[in-house]
Structure 1
């Protein structure tokens, strides 16, 4: 499910910019696209899809097989107070039957937002 089109995550520039309103917790894992608390701006391709989508699918598949998963998502921002788009997303997931995932995905939407703020985009 996509995010509610009426909700704009911080720093979202809109269509044609290869950006998406990413979910901190994917719908397939119990998250919602109906609240800004679960949305952030991310590069659509390749960060959101296939990147996050494929890793979230792996987590879902492990849970479906009965594995209990502890899952954390970390959004890394710069120290710039005006920075509203994370420069990377880290996914960590560990299961009680050996599932393990620790991946960092860069999001070029961060630099895109910086160029937009400087009037270069």
Structure 2
């Protein structure tokens, strides 16, 4: 799986959660989710990805920006050294679709890989414009908190947050979060 696409067929029949922009949560089977994700056959022009490694075996590969300068996704192996190692969103970075005033427009410079999981706020590949409430917080931060607790509980987690865009829109319509832990943690979410 690459950071630029979600291979929904590889996810099997796990149950999935869909969170809409209003913060409503519903459960669906994979057949229901397949139509909502990245369509097969779509292509994205990518540059070389950036990879960061950690002493205990953790790694982050930030997918390159697409042809419109939009973040595409991150492939991560989360280990304890990464917890809390991230940085706040750099206010000088204006992600695609940014309206210019986060408070006025209820938007955030949202990390694809959250700060609490080791995500950088200084890389354009990791920041996108997202609705602050409820999408960025509490929804995404809540899911990232679940992953953090799993890692702090002893599991390493393979994690793939991926942006979902409609055509040439600069702000993602959603984000898929696919996570699998070494001790049985396993979920797929679309927010």
TM-score (normalizing by structure 1): 0.81
Task: Tell whether 2:52 aligns with 1:4.
Answer: no
Superposed displacement of residue 30, structure 1:
1.1
TM-fit CA distance, 1:28: 1.3
SS at match of 1:58: helix
SS of the aligned residue for 1:50 comes to: helix
For 1:20, what is the secondary structure of its paired residue? strand
Residues 20-59 of structure 1: matches in 2 within 5 Å?
Answer: 20-59=108-147
Find 1:74's aligned residue among 162, 185, 189: 162
Q: 2:187 aligned with 1:101, yes or no? A: yes
Encode CA deviations 1:28-70: one digit per residue, 9 max, x unaligned. 1111111111101100000000000000000011011110101
Matched, 1:86 2:172: yes
CA–CA separation in structure 2 for the residues paired with 1:70 and 1:103: 14
Divergent runs of 4+, >2 A: none
Structure 1 segments unaligned to the other structure (5+ residues): 106-121
RMSD across aligned positions (CA): 1.0
Find the aligned partners of 1:101 and 1:12 in 2 and give their Cα distance. 30
Between Structure 1 and Structure 2, how many residues are aligned? 103
